[in-house]
Structure 1
């Protein structure tokens, strides 16, 4: 921990990377048939046989009224009702006043709600607060907050009223969340460009990669970041995960792996830095 503390204190910038492990530590578990899931989706569980949030996200509902009922419940609980957790508060202390950027696949916008700058966040698989044409007939992205609030208030028996189901203003077809399950998913090119600009700016400086809750086989974020760490002379790679630490052999001399609960480790690291 003292070595990690020294690396962060002397860093010119911090690149934060996060995936499901961070969400799970905050209580948002995509893969669990746990009490929280059963409380929120007991009727969907009984009617459709889904056993976790990720199954509900990908289930082929017969109607858009059912689909949007699922999403409105999920977004209301895990986005609109979210308050910053101790994990986010400790992470902000760790970053302090250093330049930073965040790349994440979590989609629930918790970083932004917790006070991190939205211009320094790349939600690589989209977000739960935006929608797009399901056919991607055009690339305009639309906010969903007001629409979801109306849906949540009007939902009954697992359905939202048909008049609240959004239609594409261009082609008149279906709309969908701008989330990474669809082949028509529209990337946030501006955020991607800002991310690459950050990498270019700090590549030859003392850059710390702080990876939170990303599995060993993750090719979307983890693999590119390990390659980045391998290529940069002064890049330090720190990965925190519970029960699964993987560090490529070619970066082991510039890396640190912390196996344990993110809540505890972030608190310990924050305390050490303060």
Structure 2
């Protein structure tokens, strides 16, 4: 009996180790693809990376970002924080002699690569957590590994090498998966605080890029109208809090989104209508 218990314990430890393999492979492949794509200044690699880089500086200088199309505010704030920390570390080690603005403009590729590397680290960590949480609840290694394979499509792999909203959305999507796992397997996740957590993630996602809006359908899983309403309210509040740096740009943002939604062409151009058939 003791031997059998020992074998089961060893087997679980092996399965636990397996959950680290896929995230590591994902990170390695992403780094290889990033290397193959070349620098961010090269061709289409610069769009929208350099626009975001300049708006990272706007956030650092407490200026309103000029690029609000996505709106991408969460990424702009995130990038600003990463750049400030990176610059501060360099300053402490006497690696820079210029101010932060000059440093970024003189070494844009270094800062973009740094931001992407941190984003990739977060994505990889979230991917690992998805597997660990799934295995902790289900004790099913096959299911856990399957959930980790989600980003192993060309588009997510490609996005993981960039500095744009979709890169951050990869992490937020994984966080949403983790929350759903708690909802499916834990009765405690049926409490109102779970609705708050869902709302926060959805609000962060939508303020990162409005194409995240369809994910609000997750709210339909919540029990009762109170929790559904709470999640919707939290989503709206989170959106406005996280987009507060572009408060003065709200009219422009909403006009832009309305134009896209009500015209058949690209970026709000073309004839009025939803779809050009």
Q: Shorter-chain TM-score: what band?
A: under 0.3
Rg larger for: 2
TM normalised by structure 1 equals: 0.27
Q: Whose relative contact order is higher, 1 or 2, with alpha carbons under 8 Å and at least 6 apart?
A: 1
Name the one with the larger strand percent: 1
TM normalised by structure 2 equals: 0.27
